[in-house]
Structure 1
Amino acid sequence: MHAPVLVLKDSLKRESGAKVHRANIQASKAVADIIRTTLGPRSMLKMLLDAAGGIVVTNDGNAILRELDLAHPAAKSMIELSRTQDEEVGDGTTSVIILAGELLHVAEAFIDKHYHPTVICRAYTKALEDSIAVLDKIAIPIDVNNRASMLGLVKSCIGTKFTSQFGNLIADLAIDATTTVGVDLGQGLREVDIKKYIKVEKIPGGQLEDSRVLRGVMFNKDVVAPGKMRRRILNPRIILLDCPLEYKKGENQTNAELVREEDWAILLKMEEEYIENICVQILKFKPDLVITEKGLSDLACHYLSKAGVSAIRRLRKTDNNRIARACGAVVVNRPDELQESDVGTGAGLFEVKKIGDEFFTFIVDCKDPKACSVLLRGASKDLLNEVERNLQDAMSVARNILKNPKLLPGGGATELTVSASLKQKSSSIEGVEKWPYEAAAVAFEAIPRTLAQNCGVNVIRTMTALQGKHASEENAWVGIDGNTGAIVDMREQQIWDSFNVKAQTFKTAIEAACMILRIDDIVSGIKKKQAPGAGPAPSKPKIEEEGDADGEQILPD
């Protein structure tokens, strides 16, 4: 009689070993294949249907993957890569997925030969260090004050996007917006916060050419009392508040019982005096415009309009902060703490305009705005959404250049140079890591190969010619023209990539590939769904004891 064995039943599903590695690699390759055709200027668009029945048409890798509904855990972590890349540098979302998918694809052969994943990961990490060193060697510095070179760079980075057909328009908008919000922190450092201080306002109607960057801020609000308050003021004095201009209500639900009618009059008078007092404190500073994030009572509106002051209420905190940065005001918490230095005097014009059916407030022509709004016009909402996605990418590219002004050649030239350098270096690597290291070098060729495929040229002939040219170091700038598929010098064609984007792409792809290769167990603790009408699920898994051939004994829970 052999010893009893405990078997867990219906509780944990477990897969392990090479089976898991293969499943993960297949899932990652499937994700990469979905967006492979969206790389480069000749990229295809994807039409996505969301759960609510809405349609998104885009070739932005991150936007496509965001809409996918996947069950496989490894595929989900691939999608996370694209999101990380988008948040960090705003570009290269498609490249990072293709590169990670290719790195996993070339690792599959080593898994089949029973290489240990740690060995493959060690080789990949070494390849990453060496590839970043190659990037540093071939990068060239750029003058951020040279508008023409900045324009060329941003244009080449977003040349793969839908809006590239509109010429310099998006690149111009992006450079204007990012240079506006850039703040020098000294010691060669710059802070460029494009998420916080650049607001994109999309208004359907008009032409795309009517889009512009405002030297100031716009938001979807009208003045509180349109008949009494001015809608256009030159050089306004602006006061920003984040407190209500209403009578203070009790913190907890306060009930007051009044016995005599005169007490009611006293209460109303107290309320009136309180609001008048607040308004007097504000009017002391002779403002032309008062903006508050909270409510503004009719009585306060009366006092302000009597003094010729325009007022706007219930503004978003983010918009209020942008106005403060644009016109030099300080957002004040209590009216009695107002000082002259808190009043914003940097704006040249306050104006309320009607565009379409809605009123928009413009605070523009600011002297030194550190925040701005980008006004986008276009035929339809779908078009404007795609233009906004492209603009966000362009602004991220411009921000990366302002933060780290270095350039690398585009069109797959950088990847081919890195690949050639790693192949040369692999001969000096000893031991079992040599082969995965060489495979990583080959994986970098996935980017130029995909570009060639999307152009419709003969891929094998083009890749062979490129590899031949990159065998000598003088041809580090040779790559594929994404429009024609011809082999050209990137310096002549002005096709560039930002150093930050490339470095981040390599780091994210290789680190993610290593992480997925290190997974050797997938344990699912998800309970099976019960049939309707069945009783409650057992709280513990059923444990069986397998005895000898006489039969099974079931242990109680």
Structure 2
Amino acid sequence: MMGPGSAPMLVLSANTKREQGKKVQIGNIQAAKTVADVIRTCLGPKAMFKMLMDPMGGIVMTNDGNAILREIQVQHPAAKSMIEISRTQDEEVGDGTTSVIVLAGETLACAEQFLYQQMHPTVIISAYRQALEEASKLLKEKCCIPVDINNRDEMIKIIKSCIGTKFISKWSDLACNIALDAVSTVKLEENGHKEIDIKRYARIEKIPGGSMEESQVLRGVMINKDVVHPRMKRRIENPKILLLDCNLEYKKGESQTSLEFTKETDFSRVLELEEEYIKNICEDIIKFKPDLLITEKGISDLAQHFLVKANITAIRRVRKSDNNRIARACGATVVNRTDEIKQEDIGIGCGLFEIRKIGDEYYAYIEECKSPKACTIVLRGASKDVLNEVERNFQDAMNVARNVMIEPYLVPGGGAGEMEIAKLLEEKAKSVQGIHQWPFRALARAFEVIPRTLIQNCGANVIRTLTALRAKHAQDGNVSWGVDGHTGEIIDMKQLGIWEPLSVKLQTYKTAIETAILLLRIDDIVSGAKKASSLNEKSDTNGQSNKKEEEAAPKEE
């Protein structure tokens, strides 16, 4: 038992598992390779899907590296950290989650032979670090081209190359336009600083039914709500919108409040007070003459009565995030108390409010906004599983558009960038002194795993195609030659129009190689997890006392 001020201690007991030295490093490399092998077939336009079943019985069908790894349960600590890098990649740039795992696995696999040759891990690490710096520098200097973000056709091409490997590629024109419109809508520029917050202000609403072609991006917001009273208007043009974050109900006393009535009139007086209070807060609202009232909390029946009389339409219990989105779309401010409402808090930037029924559900559309800084993407599709996959694809597409808008540089896709980096690092390795040269050269070869996997996934001859591609890059001026993921032939990516944002590539290399370095640094794994069998024996022998101890002791995470 630890005292309140004592430091946590790692106690090595008889049933603590411990692995040391080279055995751990080889084990970590094997674990990383296993994770990479699971994901390997999910790279490129001919990517295979994985079907995952979660413990609740739900199924997920996807070829998105991050979505797959999120669902996989692993025990090995090195495999866990591999899964973590896919999530990091997704949060940072939103794309390249599959490439980062494949590259990290290959980087570690290259280190294995050096460990068997008794090379110290720190030597490998310093060579890898040097190679990573060189790769980042060479990518910026030799491989990337600037892009005009105001040229819509160019932007569509870039997003198309991201969507090409996804399930949604069949509707790529529609999808690219929707993604680009959504990102352009939420873009904010202040004092030369760009802010594009897709997570918060571009919401995807999935409505099963209808066809994929009916999907659209609204110039405004849509929420899955109906009006609170049947006599309220269901269509208002150019509404004045008031957003609230407070109850339009009588404030109940706290739990310790108790009322004592001594005569009959007291009870009716309490009811009168309630009515007066609600009437007052409704009058605070009515004097500003809004057409539409949206609140995050409840609206009582009496308040509804006053609002209907004043010809105000109301929607209640809207999510906080939705309310913020509506505020951004129509230029309103969310008000926390009714007595603090000012005229400028009311949003007048919206062209149309309408309740529409789709299937059995009612949806409130607040659209045709003048200059919306938030939007909703309405997705239609055959079934829930299809819609979930399409949503994941859209997130990737929007992230690509966002990355290019923030950092407008592109690198050729289809493994061309990696192949060029491999060639340039190979040349650079000749000038590296001493033993560091070998891991440096090995990492140069590791970059070839991306084009190799692309060739494998579309069933072409790997050795022949890769050799031809290597020969092509050996000649100067062929930077943009890569693998056509559909046919497995080598082709100029400029012709195909397949480009990737520079920020995604840089992040992929950094995350993959730094994780490999981190895992090579580990030379000792101590797991203090008790074996389940020994615990069961204990509980059999001293059942009751053990239970009491467990209840008294704090649970370990």
TM bracket (short chain): over 0.9
What one-letter code is carried by the residue in structure 1 that aligns with 2:147?
Answer: I
- Corresponding residue for 1:408? 411
For 1:33 and 1:537, locate their aligned partners in 2 and report how far apart those are by CA, in whole Å: 44
Equivalent pair of 2:164/2:172 in contact (CA under 8 Å): no
- Per the TM alignment, residue 26 of structure 1 is displaced from its structure 2 partner at its CA by 0.3
Equivalent pair of 2:473/2:481 in contact (CA under 8 Å): yes
Aligned pairs for 1:463-502 (under 5 A) are 463-502=466-505
Match of 1:163 among 158, 162, 168: 168
- Corresponding residue for 2:460? 457
Write out per-residue CA displacement over residues 93-116 of structure 1, whole angstroms, 9 at most, x where no aligned residue. 000000000000000001111111
Aligned pairs for 1:391-402 (under 5 A) are 391-402=394-405
Match of 1:116 among 104, 117, 120: 120
For 1:423 and 1:185, locate their aligned partners in 2 and report how far apart those are by CA, in whole Å: 44
Is residue 82 from structure 1 mapped to residue 86 from structure 2 by the alignment? Answer: yes
Unaligned runs of at least 5 residues, structure 1: 1-6, 539-557
For 2:171 and 2:387, locate their aligned partners in 1 and report how far apart those are by CA, in whole Å: 13
Is residue 152 from structure 1 mapped to residue 163 from structure 2 by the alignment? Answer: no
- Per the TM alignment, residue 8 of structure 1 is displaced from its structure 2 partner at its CA by 6.2
- Per the TM alignment, residue 185 of structure 1 is displaced from its structure 2 partner at its CA by 2.2
Match of 1:515 among 513, 518, 539: 518
- Corresponding residue for 2:550? none
Residue range with higher mean Cα deviation, 459-468 or 528-537: 528-537
- Corresponding residue for 2:14? 10
For 1:256 and 1:8, locate their aligned partners in 2 and report how far apart those are by CA, in whole Å: 62
SS in 2 for 1:14: strand
For 1:267 and 1:210, locate their aligned partners in 2 and report how far apart those are by CA, in whole Å: 53
- Per the TM alignment, residue 13 of structure 1 is displaced from its structure 2 partner at its CA by 1.5
- Corresponding residue for 1:46? 50
What one-letter code is carried by the residue in structure 2 that aligns with 1:268?
Answer: L
SS in 2 for 1:432: helix
Is residue 63 from structure 1 mapped to residue 67 from structure 2 by the alignment? Answer: yes
- Per the TM alignment, residue 534 of structure 1 is displaced from its structure 2 partner at its CA by 3.0
Q: When the two structures are superposed, what TM-score results if normalisation uses the length of structure 1?
A: 0.94
Is residue 266 from structure 1 mapped to residue 273 from structure 2 by the alignment? Answer: no
- Per the TM alignment, residue 252 of structure 1 is displaced from its structure 2 partner at its CA by 4.0
Aligned pairs for 1:295-310 (under 5 A) are 295-310=298-313
Give the 3 Å change call, closer, same or farther, for CA 400–278 of structure 1 in structure 2: same
- Per the TM alignment, residue 12 of structure 1 is displaced from its structure 2 partner at its CA by 2.2
SS in 1 for 2:380: strand
SS in 2 for 1:479: strand
Is residue 329 from structure 1 mapped to residue 336 from structure 2 by the alignment? Answer: no
Equivalent pair of 2:291/2:311 in contact (CA under 8 Å): yes
Unaligned runs of at least 5 residues, structure 2: 1-10, 548-557
For 2:105 and 2:546, locate their aligned partners in 1 and report how far apart those are by CA, in whole Å: 40
For 1:431 and 1:352, locate their aligned partners in 2 and report how far apart those are by CA, in whole Å: 73
Write out per-residue CA displacement over residues 233-254 of structure 1, whole angstroms, 9 at most, x where no aligned residue. 0000000000101111223431
Is residue 344 from structure 1 mapped to residue 351 from structure 2 by the alignment? Answer: no
Give the 3 Å change call, closer, same or farther, for CA 537–517 of structure 1 in structure 2: farther
For 1:414 and 1:69, locate their aligned partners in 2 and report how far apart those are by CA, in whole Å: 33
For 2:407 and 2:194, locate their aligned partners in 1 and report how far apart those are by CA, in whole Å: 9
SS in 2 for 1:411: coil
Write out per-residue CA displacement over residues 161-181 of structure 1, whole angstroms, 9 at most, x where no aligned residue. 011012312111111111000
Match of 1:212 among 193, 213, 216: 216
Aligned pairs for 1:216-227 (under 5 A) are 216-226=220-230
- Per the TM alignment, residue 56 of structure 1 is displaced from its structure 2 partner at its CA by 1.3
Is residue 190 from structure 1 mapped to residue 197 from structure 2 by the alignment? Answer: no
Match of 1:178 among 173, 183, 201: 183
For 1:308 and 1:473, locate their aligned partners in 2 and report how far apart those are by CA, in whole Å: 73
For 1:229 and 1:155, locate their aligned partners in 2 and report how far apart those are by CA, in whole Å: 44
Is residue 229 from structure 1 mapped to residue 232 from structure 2 by the alignment? Answer: yes
SS in 1 for 2:217: strand
- Per the TM alignment, residue 328 of structure 1 is displaced from its structure 2 partner at its CA by 0.3
Write out per-residue CA displacement over residues 362-390 of structure 1, whole angstroms, 9 at most, x where no aligned residue. 00000000000000001111111111010
What one-letter code is carried by the residue in structure 2 that aligns with 1:533?
Answer: D
SS in 2 for 1:429: coil
For 2:490 and 2:116, locate their aligned partners in 1 and report how far apart those are by CA, in whole Å: 36
**How many residues are paired up?**
530
Q: When the two structures are superposed, what TM-score results if normalisation uses the length of structure 2?
A: 0.94
Residue range with higher mean Cα deviation, 7-16 or 96-105: 7-16
SS in 2 for 1:191: strand
What one-letter code is carried by the residue in structure 1 that aligns with 2:522?
Answer: I
Query: RMSD of the alignment, in Å?
Result: 1.3
SS in 2 for 1:48: strand
SS in 2 for 1:470: helix
- Corresponding residue for 1:525? 528
- Corresponding residue for 2:98? 94
SS in 2 for 1:277: helix
Write out per-residue CA displacement over residues 417-461 of structure 1, whole angstroms, 9 at most, x where no aligned residue. 111110000000102111111111000000000001111111101
Match of 2:203 among 199, 204, 209: 199
Structure that is richer in helix per residue: 2
For 2:103 and 2:160, locate their aligned partners in 1 and report how far apart those are by CA, in whole Å: 23
Is residue 427 from structure 1 mapped to residue 430 from structure 2 by the alignment? Answer: yes
